[in-house]
Each structure stands twice: as C-alpha cells, then as structure tokens.
Amino acid sequence: MTISVLGAGAFGTAMAVSLSQNGPVTLWARDAEQVRTMQASRENSRRLPGVKLPEDITVSADIEDALAAKTLLLAMPMQKMAGFLDAHSETLAGKTLVSCSKGIDLSTGQGPTALIRAKVPGARAAVLTGPSFAADIARGLPTALTLACADHSEELQAELSTPTLRLYRTTDTTGAELGGALKNVYAIAAGTVIGAGLGDSARAALMTRGFAEMLRIATELGARAETLSGLSGFGDLVLTCTSTQSRNFRLGCSIGSGEGFDPSITVEGVATAGALNKLAHRRGLEIPVAAMVLALTERTISVDEAMQALLARPLKEE
C-alpha cells in the first residue's frame, strides 16, 4: 500500500522524493494553496526549491486520503505532533507511525515514540533520525539514518530504505530520539561559538563537552550509550555543529554575531533546551552547556557572560 508522508516541509518532501524510488507515495500538506502550487509546478518551491517531484508522488491536502496508508511518516514539528495525534487517534490505530521529528514535547516531556504510544496505544511507534539534510536526501546523495522501533522492524527497515538511503535499525527508541533531539541544543551552542568568532578549537571543545552532557542525560533516562555513539547521536551532532544547512547552527551564529534571525523558521533546539533543562533539574544532573544555550535563547545572558561562566567552572578530570 502507498506510504504517506504527513508534512510537506523540507524533510517530509525529501523523504517522499526518496521513497518514490520504491513505489507510490502520498505527500500531505495542511495548506491547500501550497498543495495546488506543488501539484501545478511539481516542486515544493517554498521548502525545497530546485527539486522536481517524481510522478509517483501524489500531493494532497485530503487528510483522510493520506491516512489510508498503512505506514505513515510524521514529518511535522515536534510541538505540533500531540495535537495531530489527538485529532486523528481513532484513524491512526493499527498504523505504523514513524516520527521524523527531533525534539521533546514541552507539555509532557516525552519523546516522539512515547508520545505516539500514549496518544495512539494501538499504533506501532518508530522514529527515523540521524545525520541528514533534506537537500541531500532529495538529490539522491548517500545518506545513512537510524530507524528505531521496539521490535526488530526488519520489514520496516526494508520498506523505508532506498538505493541512496541506508537505514540501520535499533530497538533503543529512547537513545535514538534523545540523540536526535539533544544535538540540536548543542548545534545552537556551536553556532554561537562560530558567530562570535571564538574559533574552531573552541567549537571542538564545546562539541566534546556537549556530547558528554548528551550521554549523561540520555543514559540517566534509560538509553544505551552505544546508541548515542552512533548515527542518531554523535553522527547527527557532528553534522549539525559544522554546517550552515542546520537551522539550529544558523540560529547560534546569529546569536553569536548579534544579527537577526527569521522568526518564521522552526528551530527545534530552542524548545528542546527548555525541556532539557527542566528535566536535568528534576534529575539533579549538571548540563552547563545546555544551561547556557537556554539563557542565550531567552536573552537573559550575553555571549561574553556565557563564555566566562563556562570558562570559570572548576578544573576537573575528563
């Protein structure tokens, strides 16, 4: 049966393009006007310009038509997912729901698979995450991602793999989704370092200490350390901390340089920084880099003050 991708942002569109190599795909967008434009031009000029939509992609604004598929990729902002699941919980029961979101739900503190299980108990929950940019996937550049599902999901792995998109599976959904969510926070920090002109050595140090924080909080929450050392953790951290294609990194650059940033662009790391610091406080965990990111995004501290606060921390063993 046709796979549906729910959400026609850059990543959702790119996944639809890649998966159309295997057969028909429905790409659903909420905005009917956007859908009409995409149907006429065969391109998502708003989110993924320059990439033609293959004929095997059906672009639709009909949610009931999109929900007819057995496998649904949820390519929507993390903070929109709970409302969507609530609105369509009955129809989604029995489906395989694969989250493509990287973040933590602010109202519940849950990651995407836990949120899916809570809102739609009859659905099979999975998460697709790892080091990837939409433009690379859409253009057929080699990309490797992590597919996490509580069962071993060999058939889902085969269904979502393409000649240029290689998936590695794991049953550690907690580790996979935390790696994808937390790295966004540290990408903001890395961008701030570069935007402020502090140099690549400072960025390398920050990435290393940020990864230590990721491991600390993820293992506290039940993740396996080896998952964080893989594609969905370390791999994604490296990509987003070193490329201007990352929205989180670009936001950090704007903070570091004092320049403005387009408020219409979704930057998941901002919400995640808030959720992460609340969680760490409840658990009694030290995450100084993430704490500085939260303060910077809330504009309660300057870049110079954040840098001095981190440099003034007590010397200790690595």
Choice among 52, 70, 80, 183 that is catalytic: 183
Q: Is residue 134 part of an annotated ligand binding site?
A: yes
Q: Is residue 283 part of an annotated ligand binding site?
A: no
Q: Is residue 95 part of an annotated ligand binding site?
A: no
Q: Is residue 316 part of an annotated ligand binding site?
A: no
Q: Is residue 304 part of an annotated ligand binding site?
A: no
Q: Is residue 248 part of an annotated ligand binding site?
A: yes
Q: Is residue 256 part of an annotated ligand binding site?
A: no
Cα diameter, the chain: 61
| Alpha carbons 274 and 279: distance in angstroms, whole number | 9
Token output for 226: 């080896």
How many residues belong to the chain?
318
Q: Is residue 102 part of an annotated ligand binding site?
A: yes
- Three-state SS across the chain? CCEEEECCCHHHHHHHHHHCCCCCEEEECCCHHHHHHHHHHCECCCCCCCCECCCCEEEECCHHHHCCCCEEEECCCHHHHHHHHHHCHHHHCCCEEEECCCCCCCCCCCCHHHHHHHHCCCCEEEEEECCCCHHHHHCCCCEEEEEEECCCCHHHHHHHCECCEEEEEECCHHHHHHHHHHHHHHHHHHHHHHHCCCCHHHHHHHHHHHHHHHHHHHHHCCCCHHHHCCHHHHHHHHHHCCCCCCHHHHHHHHHHHCCCCCCCCCCHHHHHHHHHHHHHHHHCCCCHHHHHHHHHHCCCCCHHHHHHHHHCCCCCCC
Q: Is residue 236 part of an annotated ligand binding site?
A: yes
Q: Is residue 31 part of an annotated ligand binding site?
A: no
183: annotated active-site residue: yes
Residue ranges of the binding site: 11, 30, 102, 130, 132, 134, 183, 236, 246-248, 268
Residue ranges of the binding site for sn-glycerol 3-phosphate: 102, 130, 132, 183, 236, 246-248
Residue ranges of the binding site for NADPH: 11, 30, 102, 134, 247, 268
For the annotated catalytic residues, the residue numbers are 183
